[in-house]
Structure 1
């Protein structure tokens, strides 16, 4: 009896030039295409989440009347207080 697969196989296409770049990366880094694509997708999803959080923070700051200058000042004050500990 075989154990169930813990991953899914997904087929996708890319331009030939990109495929060649990926092939070079595979050779340079000694990694598989799956590893490179997984890492690229993880980085993309992390970046997307970060941008979403940034938009939320900007929206909340506007609602609270906090300007970008206020944020810089508050960060500087916080960092200064942390360095005195």
Structure 2
């Protein structure tokens, strides 16, 4: 299962979404603020993690060794700092 470590620096991710999804997300986020201050970035991160964890996407990640490529990229970035 893929998850994003808390210490990672977030990256800007832009996308266009249908107005109905925009409306519902912006309406739900304030209602969900119980125990955690949710924001749009939290919602989108959770949605993208769920999408990446779908069986067909997990199969692609495994088939193309993307987890290993990600680890190598992170190690390379740490060394260059």
Aligned to 2:13: 10
Aligned to 1:41: 48
Question: Would you identify which runs of 4 or more consecutive aligned residues in structure 1 move more than 3 Å?
Answer: none
Deviation at 1:36, TM superposition (A): 0.4
Deviation at 1:17, TM superposition (A): 0.8
* TM-score, structure 2 as length reference: 0.50
The CA distance in 2 between the partners of 1:38 and 1:7, in whole Å, is 10
- Written as runs of structure 1 = structure 2, the 5 A alignment for 1:66-81 is none
* Count of residue pairs the alignment pairs up: 48
Runs of 5+ consecutive residues of structure 1 not aligned to the other structure = 57-85
Deviation at 1:27, TM superposition (A): 1.4
CA RMSD, Structure 1 to Structure 2 (Å): 2.4
The CA distance in 2 between the partners of 1:11 and 1:23, in whole Å, is 16
**Structure with larger Rg:** 1
The CA distance in 2 between the partners of 1:35 and 1:6, in whole Å, is 14
Runs of 5+ consecutive residues of structure 2 not aligned to the other structure = 1-7, 64-81
The CA distance in 2 between the partners of 1:40 and 1:8, in whole Å, is 15
* TM-score, structure 1 as length reference: 0.48
Higher RCO (CA < 8 A, seq sep 6+) = 2
